[in-house]
A and B are shown apart, each in its own frame.
Chain A
Amino acid sequence: GQQVMQIPQYQHVQEGEDFTTYCNSSTTLSNIQWYKQRPGGHPVFLIQLVKSGEVKKQKRLTFQFGEAKKNSSLHITATQTTDVGTYFCAGIWGRWALNFGKGTSLLVTP
């Protein structure tokens, strides 16, 4: 089936360093969504990207959707301990087909 590959699986950074996670699909996506799951919690919706080449920002978070709509990235500037968690991308090929990547677990040490 259609899948999204997400890398890296884990990332350990010092507080203040930047962080990036990447999401790739072999086929063109309709949209892509990003979620964050804190340890012991449930996924929380962050953003949806729809347009080719789209860039959206939420404070220190920058989301990009590739020109070919086959890849996406989430970049966090100057990480904080509150950024700890697992970040998932979810690819959408049709109205209901939403496939999650395996996630990138971020650990931030002060």
Chain B
Amino acid sequence: DGGITQSPKYLFRKEGQNVTLSCEQNLNHDAMYWYRQDPGQGLRLIYYSQIVNDFQKGDIAEGYSVSREKKESFPLTVTSAQKNPTAFYLCASSKTGEQYFGPGTRLTVT
């Protein structure tokens, strides 16, 4: 089955801890993206990567970090510097423009 997977579906962390969200795709897509979704806010771009070993900041990159060591994988780390980390995080990949989204990870930080 081709697709994009994110794990876990739900994640709970204590304030002050870093946490890494997984995103894997087997669609052979070059571009991958991370979005954050808050109620009533739509999707806001955190980071994106057009090719392995390269990535760019999106609109709300502060407090987040990424890596792109493999074409298939684009993990996102939510650091303790992110002031409001509780949100729904969506990963997407793309080859020709249209984006394919993973099922998302709902992160709760208390």
Query: Measuring CB to CB, which residues of chain A are less than 8 angstroms from any residue of chain B?
Result: 1, 6, 9, 31, 33, 35, 41-45, 48, 88, 90, 92, 96, 98-103
Cβ of B101 within 8 Å of any chain A Cβ, yes or no, is yes
Given known contacts A1-B59, A42-B103, A42-B104, A48 and B43 CB-to-CB distance under 8 angstroms: no
Kindly state the separation between the CA atoms of A92 and B48 in the bound complex, as whole angstroms: 15
B40, A45: Cβ atoms closer than 8 Å: no
Residue among B40, B41, B43 with max Cβ neighbours from chain A (10 Å): B43
A42, B90: Cβ atoms closer than 8 Å: yes
Interface residue tally on B, bucketed by range: 20 to 34
- State the Cβ distance, A72 to closest chain B Cβ, in Å: 15
Given known contacts A9-B40, A100-B43, A101-B42, A42 and B97 CB-to-CB distance under 8 angstroms: no
- State the Cβ distance, A96 to closest chain B Cβ, in Å: 6
Query: Measuring CB to CB, which residues of chain B are less than 8 angstroms from any residue of chain A?
Result: 31, 35, 40-45, 48, 50, 56, 59, 90, 92, 97-104
Given known contacts A1-B59, A43-B90, A98 and B99 CB-to-CB distance under 8 angstroms: yes
Kindly state the separation between the CA atoms of A59 and B99 in the bound complex, as whole angstroms: 22
B102, A42: Cβ atoms closer than 8 Å: yes
